[in-house]
Amino acid sequence: MKKIFTTIFLLLTSAFMYWSCKKENLDLLPLGETEVSFYNSESDFNRSVVGIYAKLSDFYWYNGGSGLHGIWHLPGDDITMVGSDAYEIFTGLNATNGGLNEYYKQAYQLIDRANTTMQKINASDARIYSTPGLKTQHLAEAAFLRGYMHFCLYNFFGTAPVRTQRVDTPDEAQLRLSNSTGTQLLDQAITDFQTAAAGLPIAYPATQAGRITANTANGFLGKALVFRASYNQTAADFQAAITAFNKISGASLVANYGDNFSALTENNAESLFEFQATQPGFDNVWLNNDFESSGSGSTSAYWGFYENHWSRFGAPPFIATDKYVAAFEVGDPRTQFSFDTTGKAIKKYVLTDQKSQSGVASVNNPRILRYADVLLLKAEAILESGATAEAIALINAVRTRARGAGTVPADYSTSEADQAKIFAWIAKERLAELGGEEGHRWFDLKRWHAAGKINLGAWDWSSASTAGVQFDITKNLLYPLPANELDLNPNMQQNPGY
Amino acid sequence: MKKYFYPKQIRLLLTFLWALAALLPVQAQAFDLTVRGKVTDESGEALIGATVAVKGLPRGITTDTNGDFSLDVPDGNAILVVSYTGYQTREVPVAGQTTLVITLKAGTNSLDEVVVIGYGERTRKDVTGSVGSIGSKEIEKSIAAAPELALQGRLAGVLVSTPGGSPTSRPTVRIRGIGTFGNNEPLYVIDGLPITEGQSGNEGGRGGDLRGAVNLLTLINPNDIESISVLKDASAAAIYGVRAANGVILINTKRGRTGTPRIDLNASYGLQNVVNRYEMLNTSEFASFIEEAYANNPGETFNPLMRTAIDALRNSPTYDWQEENLNKNAPTSDYSARIYGGSAATQYSVSGGYSYIESPLKGNNLRRYTMATNVTSKLSNWLEAGVNYRLGYVEALDETSVGGQGFDQQQTARVSPWQPIYDPNNPYGFAPTADVTFKDNPGYDPSKTNPGAPRDIDAVNLLWGPESSSNGFAYREATDLGYQIFRNFGTAYLQLEPIQGLRFKGSLSVDYSNSNPRELAYSWRNTYFSETPGNPFALGNGQSLGSYGERNVNNFNLVKEFSVNYRRVLNNHNFDILLNAMDQRYSWYGTIAGNEQNQALDQKFWGLSSIDNRYTSTGTFREDNALQGYMGRLSYNYGGKYYADVTVRRDGSSKFAPEYRFGVFPSFSLAWRLSGEEFMQDVRFINDLKLRGGWGQLGNQETRAYAFLSTVSNTPDYSFGSGNGNGIGTLTGGVNLPDFPTRDLTWEVSTTSNFGVDLLAADNRLSFTAEYYSRLTDGILQAASLPASVGNQNPPIINIASVRNKGFEFSANWNDRLGDLGYSIGGNITTINNKVISTYQDEPLGGEGGRIEVGQSIGYLWGYKTDGIFASQAEYETWKATHDDKLINNGNAVGAGDIRFLDINGPGEGSGTIVNTPDGVIDPNDRVYLGKVVPGYYYGLNLGTDYKGLDLSVFFQGVGDVQAYNYTRSGMESLLENGLNMTTTVKNRWTPQNTNTDMPRAVARDPNNNLRFSDRFVEDAGFFRLKNVQLGYSLPRATLNRMKMQRFRVYVSATNLLTITKWSGLDPEEINTRNGSIIPPARTFLLGINVGF
């Protein structure tokens, strides 16, 4: 009897074991889609491209009080602040600077998203893309954004590495790139802008406004060529820039200069590239854009440094320098949109603003590239070829829009033949037109110094800082590469002087 | 790939073995003699439920309600083994008699103590691995809600840190050092069930947030715990394979036992207080301090908000937020009852408990209800079944952090001293932080999907300077951050013993807990009382009074186990074979939901229902895991002299890719009981002496699930389509690949060697154990830091690094009695030598607060060295002529009173290399070792004495050879104007009049970067603590017998009475608290009573 029980028990338990210990029990579904299962529809790729754009918010958001804006606004001579911010007075700038580390990191993360998107599109099944031109457009958008980041890295860090491949295996050579040399970063930007320009439409339906167009790409292509021409003194690049600028079609200067900084007139005819500031379900300015789909995070842009918002907690605002103020002729209508002449508070972006629900940040888009910038760059390129009248006409186009129905600023005489004088007009016009925007001034000063047109070694920075600017020409033309990069990458050399 | 056994083959093998076992002839055992007898204690009182067994045979019986027994033995030479909890086990030769009266002596002989070793138990003298254990007597002395704290200081090799005074927080438990970079939490096994918790090891970030603030182990009532065993080395822990690398903690709860029903009642009530306070500057000192800081940096413009605040408030009273936040005489109370008993066939235990504990800081408490029952029943002599069920319910409040930031002793101490707390004129009764005005929003359009807010903030005026602090007291009034946690825990088993010694056991266990935290917040708290005022009109279309959020977090754990155990004694050969198969599935999942449109005045009516679903949000999260394990253990001993244990476990984990999923973890241990040898019989002084050693491998699978896959993140969003009056556009979901997939990812393997000696001497009065251990953790899952230029968002996780922990453990105990006076002295000490052996590319990782570098202790402190203070401007100028400090913030304003940092290293030949030669430049190359955070040693010391009914125990605990960076002090002595208050230590700052000091000058914006991570704030974090003193009185047995009671004891207890330390903060263990909140361990005085019937 006992034996029968035993046998039955053994059979039952064997069955139980077999059932309970199937090896397949370990094959659980992952928690979401994986790289292997994703990327098999046009929509998947579109979302991948959107993911690249989204990274732009990391440069413009409030970042819980640690925004990166000082990196591009403060070093030039258009915007200043009292106090001793390292970007303003240069001393104290070093490889452990948190903002620079963050900027650098985010730039390469954007590049990685672009590289990954391109890798996936290029490897995709030919049957996935059925909409004509969409594959080329997606590749072009990715290429543009990668190029844009290389352009910025060149202007800030100069020798950061060129990254054109996604790193997804521990391949030493790819993990630890060396410094770029010369204008390699710019070269890469130019290549990417060329790819983008060839693959993008001129415009999108209104619902897609804000995507990169062929005009954006050509604008940046020309801009990067002018920059390379300044650094290398190559006439061919100036010529190529003019060709690129000429491919821009349908863009125009908007009648009202102030529309360039208003939350109500974003993505207008003058605008070639903007960061599309917005608000999610709730704009939480303490959490970045990469939030859970149902959660909150920041997709907005911060302008509190101009309006002296309480969220600065008493830290001094960014204000106009005397130099910037002086760049305007008395009565220039642009003044009222640019700053408040008494306190020198910057008015751009904050005059007609729209705050996100946070009450701290704004949905007002930073304009990254405007047609006015393109016209003045084109004037500079044309001037190099000696076509002075044509160059002056372009400056006058900007001035015509600026004065509106008024008389100031008046047109320059197109008969002026002194190239140095015309260059000075362009430089002054760029300061007046573009001051306080996107670090244009800092980039311009650096390239003009490289081209020998000005000498930053003995420069008046027009700073309001009582701490005193200590600009060291042997090192401060480039920002220090982040310590974190150097610690982990023995193939990298720090920029001179740091 | 290595060729392993496959599950199919193992199944076949097991089936074969059972069949074989079933067919084994039962050795005909003749039982010719019946022995009857009685078991009593020394006073002649019958012991009910004492176990009487025949030596060498696996089964015994228990005495009945009169203490009587009747047992068949093979012959007159048999030896009876008589044991009873709390009494010394005796071996009694039958010697031909048929009636015996056996008297047991009270008190346990440590050798006979039964130790739970995982999948079984053993007497202490037969243990070959490294297993520490404590019983309910010690557990009783801990007054904490968390069972882990009972282990504090009690066992060699186990370091339990006090998590501060909050009753909800989790202690950190580290067994024999820190073996990995990630999760160092040991595996907890409660009554045989390996428990799991989603986000275990995670305190901060989103994971920690979702895990919640309440320690899930508090759902187990310490009063229900019979013993806690800690498996420290591989040979002991190998039976838990892939999860055991950080050690295993076995918690065993109280069972029923044969005898008349008994009732145990325990009650205690105590008061808790925080002892120390930060001494802060008063208002006028604070105001002049700030003015001095600005005066010392002429390049810095006075912060206008600060200027206004000083001018208006410099004559204000000083408000002490710290004192106001204390919950003085916080009560702690605990009540529990247990009824247990049983017949020879069926034993049961039923218990219930209630505790209520308040934190010594306001806004934090824990209320716990627990119930437990277990029943085991022998249905026949070959069939046994049992069930164990446990239920815990906790209601907790955790407002130690409000509005997203800590509101602890540190935060409250740092509030600008002129900021008031209360304001009778304010409608809410509290002094607001900001004055906020509103204006209409012209863009408001309720017809849009995104209507915007009807009103926008017009202006914000921070009332108390740039560091106006959120008024946490007002926040608490307007918010409710509560938890309801329910834990259900049960095991049912069936055991067959078809032939003597062969047992088949199948069990099914479920552990399910549900945590339901909620957060209710009136929006006015976030507007007027916040240092970052939000717009209340942005909430719920401007129609809402506040927000309501709720989470539902579930932990589910299902374990199916089947085991075969065969025990046999053949002459002097003792075999014990165990085969086990386990299948475990566990998941962590939940929902998060919120509603920002609540219109009821009474918060009770707030919920997730709203009239407009635009203002509700939901989300889910989930993590699934599965494990399979096959384990075999062979234990053999020859005549109690030579021991061998061999364990092999094969585990598979769903966390890894299929081809890297399974691994084999072998271990063995050997022991030699010298005292069993003939030649030792003459050494009278030694009662028992055992040498033992073991080797084995263990795994640690605790890493991100699916790290071998690259998951698609759909978090990034971007908006297109703005323009023509629409500034917002339409948000579009994007994706990215944040991970760096590592297909060949597998678990970490730690290889442990252990050698020990156990000695019992001087008539069992002295027990001593010494052990040496060495644990090498290999293939540590390291989140490899890659250069930023790679562009990866999450670092790849790679099996790459290795860390070694080695050291000694000693424990000794002396127990003696001089007439009526009994006394004992015991102690234990553990040393740890922790060293990182390799890392990814042998490159150091981690920053200044926790550097991981080959050859150094894990997570060491790394930074600059200070070299005094520049006594004069001239001294600085001279120094500056030869030194270039690259870390200064503003070269124009450095000078006398600033700190001189040491130039130690310079760049080497190759790029990125450094040499130990000063180069005249102070730069990141000059960062050096400043201290280690893994303690070099820790110890516990017990003194006990009893006299007649009185008993007194004193328990000390300590940690040494450890440093910590005092972040709190670095904030409170930052000496730059930032608006937060400073400790009075800054009064000794450098000034031209006070030059003989090591406290630098006050200077706005810190031009010299005096605050850089340096040895200035590295302190000795060692301590010696009088942890607990307890004085009790028990009624004598005669009185008890008269009163028909088993036990009556009253006691008073004091905890954290005295701490000797060099640490300058409130408490050397303050750094262990959650999210860095400072809630120091409380000093507690407690009155309690234990009654048994």
Record: contact B654-A358, CB cut-off 8 A:
no
Range in B48-62, B391-405, B818-832 with the lowest mean pLDDT: B48-62
* B628 min Cα distance to partner chain A (Å): 7
Number of domain units in chain A:
1
- Tell me the chain B residues in contact with residue A359 when contact means C-beta distances shorter than 8 Å: 456-457, 533-535, 538
Residue B618 to residue B608: CA distance in whole angstroms:
10
* A15: in domain: no
**What is the radius of gyration, based on Cα positions, of chain A?**
26
pLDDT at B121: 84
Strands (E), B794-859: 797-818, 821-831, 833-838
pLDDT at B96: 80
Residue of B nearest to A177 (CA): B789
> What is chain B's mean pLDDT, rounded?
88
Q: Does residue B792 belong to the interface with chain A, where contact is any CB pair within 8 Å? A: yes
The pLDDT of B818-843, averaged and rounded, is 91
pLDDT at B445: 79
* A136: in domain: yes
Q: Predicted ipTM? A: 0.92
Amino acid in position B353 = G
More confident residue, B19 or B561: B561
pLDDT at A18: 52
Burial of A429 (0-12, 13-18, 19+ CB in 10 A): buried
**B40 vs B46, B47, B873, B892, CA distance in Å?**
4, 5, 87, 88
CA A339, distance to chain mean position in Å, is: 23
Q: Which residues in B50-65 are b (16+ Cβ under 10 Å) and which e?
A: bbbbbeebbebbbbbe
Number of H helices, E strands in chain B: 13, 56
Record: contact A10-B19, CB cut-off 8 A:
yes
**B647 vs A267, B194, B266, B756, CA distance in Å?**
70, 18, 41, 19
Q: Is residue B28 predicted with pLDDT exceeding 50?
A: no
Q: Does residue B458 belong to the interface with chain A, where contact is any CB pair within 8 Å? A: no
Q: Which helix H or strand E contains B405, and what residues bound it?
A: strand B405-406
Among B624, B222, B249, residue whose Cα is nearest residue B390: B222
pLDDT by residue (tens digit) across B889-931? 888 889 999 999 999 999 887 766 789 999 999 988 899 999 9
The CATH number of residue A141's host domain is 1.25.40.390
Number of H helices, E strands in chain A: 19, 4
pLDDT by residue (tens digit) across A196-254? 999 999 999 999 999 999 999 999 999 999 999 999 999 999 999 999 999 999 999 99
Q: Which residues in A30-48 are b (16+ Cβ under 10 Å) and which e?
A: beebbbeebbeeeebbbbb
Instruction: Residue window 267-306, chain B: list those with CB within 8 Å of chain A.
Output: 297-301, 303-306
* A425: in domain: yes
Q: Is residue B4 predicted with pLDDT exceeding 50?
A: no
3-class DSSP state of B211: helix
pLDDT at A414: 94
* B723 min Cα distance to partner chain A (Å): 4
Among B177, B184, B181, residue whose Cα is nearest residue B782: B181
Contact B484, B394 (CB under 8 A): yes
* A347: in domain: yes
> What is the domain extent for residue A256?
39-454
* B807 min Cα distance to partner chain A (Å): 33
**A78 vs A405, B486, B1086, CA distance in Å?**
27, 62, 69
Q: Is residue A16 predicted with pLDDT exceeding 60?
A: no
Tell me the whole-structure pTM to 2 decimals: 0.86
Q: Are strands B158-161 and B131-135 parallel, antiparallel or unpaired?
A: unpaired
* A408: in domain: yes
Instruction: Residue window 401-420, chain B: list those with CB within 8 Å of chain A.
Output: 404
pLDDT at B24: 46
- Tell me the chain A residues in contact with residue B592 when contact means C-beta distances shorter than 8 Å: 294
pLDDT at B236: 85
Split at pLDDT 50, 70, 90, the class of B604 is: confident
Q: Which helix H or strand E contains B261, and what residues bound it?
A: strand B259-273
Q: Are strands B187-190 and B248-253 parallel, antiparallel or unpaired?
A: parallel
Range in A17-26, B67-76, B551-560, B1003-1012 with the lowest mean pLDDT: A17-26
Residue B456 to residue B1045: CA distance in whole angstroms:
72
Q: Does residue B854 belong to the interface with chain A, where contact is any CB pair within 8 Å? A: no
Record: contact A466-B300, CB cut-off 8 A:
yes
pLDDT at B25: 42
Among B903, B899, B909, residue whose Cα is nearest residue B925: B903
Give the number of C-alpha atoms closer than 13 A to the C-alpha of residue A179, restricted to the C-beta side: 17
pLDDT by residue (tens digit) across B276-325? 999 999 999 999 999 999 999 988 889 899 999 999 999 999 999 999 99
pLDDT by residue (tens digit) across A449-467? 999 999 999 999 999 988 8
Q: Is residue A445 predicted with pLDDT exceeding 80?
A: yes
Residue B845 to residue B838: CA distance in whole angstroms:
11
Contact B507, B491 (CB under 8 A): yes
- Tell me the chain A residues in contact with residue B717 when contact means C-beta distances shorter than 8 Å: 50, 54, 280, 289, 291, 299
pLDDT by residue (tens digit) across B86-96? 777 788 888 88
With a pLDDT cut of 70, the percent of chain B lying above it is 94
Q: Which helix H or strand E contains A226, and what residues bound it?
A: helix A214-232
Dihedrals phi, psi of B668, to nearest 5 degrees: -150, 160
Split at pLDDT 50, 70, 90, the class of B1085 is: very high
Split at pLDDT 50, 70, 90, the class of A37 is: confident
Q: Are strands B60-62 and B90-93 parallel, antiparallel or unpaired?
A: unpaired
Residue B651 to residue A428: CA distance in whole angstroms:
73
pLDDT by residue (tens digit) across B227-244? 999 999 888 888 888 888
pLDDT by residue (tens digit) across A377-420? 999 999 999 999 999 999 999 999 999 999 999 999 999 999 99
Residue B344 to residue B654: CA distance in whole angstroms:
44
Burial of B594 (0-12, 13-18, 19+ CB in 10 A): buried
Split at pLDDT 50, 70, 90, the class of B1073 is: low
* A327 min Cα distance to partner chain B (Å): 27
* A235: in domain: yes
pLDDT at B14: 53
pLDDT at A378: 97
pLDDT at B83: 81
* B688 min Cα distance to partner chain A (Å): 42
Helices (H), B123-190: 136-141
* A495: in domain: no
pLDDT at B317: 96
